Amino acid sequence: MIKLKPLSNHIFLEPLENEKTTKSGIVIPDTAQEERPMKGKVLATGPGKMNEKGERVPMSVKVGDTVLFKKYGPDEIEMDGKKYLVGDEDDVLGIIEE
């Protein structure tokens, strides 16, 4: 396992593949998915950013959450031959509750 401790309100994500076939069997081409939100699993979070009063704002996401995020928000990085994403908590659109 990679040991990484994000700073501030940064999150470290493992990208998850979007469904490319609907439940009814319709295949969705990659070009149709370009503007859709992406899914990922939160592997690590920072402690949260500081507000104007110098107080730490707690993170809304936690390790293990599956989240939707903006496709072009997080930056892609490669570590140990595997692709990951690093972004701000603001890149997250929502937590998927399963």
- Cα separation, 47 vs 8, whole angstroms: 6
Q: CATH number of the domain at 10-18+29-96, please?
A: 2.30.33.40
Q: Which amino acid is at 39?
A: K
> Concatenated DSSP letters for 18-56?
PP-B-TTSPBPPHHHHTTS-EEEEEEEE-S--B-TTSPB
For the stretch 49-70, pLDDT in tens is: 999 999 999 999 999 999 999 8
Confidence of residue 96 (pLDDT cuts 50, 70, 90): very high
pLDDT at 24 over 60: yes
- Cα separation, 41 vs 16, whole angstroms: 7
Q: For the residues 64-91, what does the mean pLDDT come to?
A: 90
Domain boundaries, the chain: 10-18+29-96
Residue closest to 11 by CA, chosen among 36, 37, 40, 51: 40
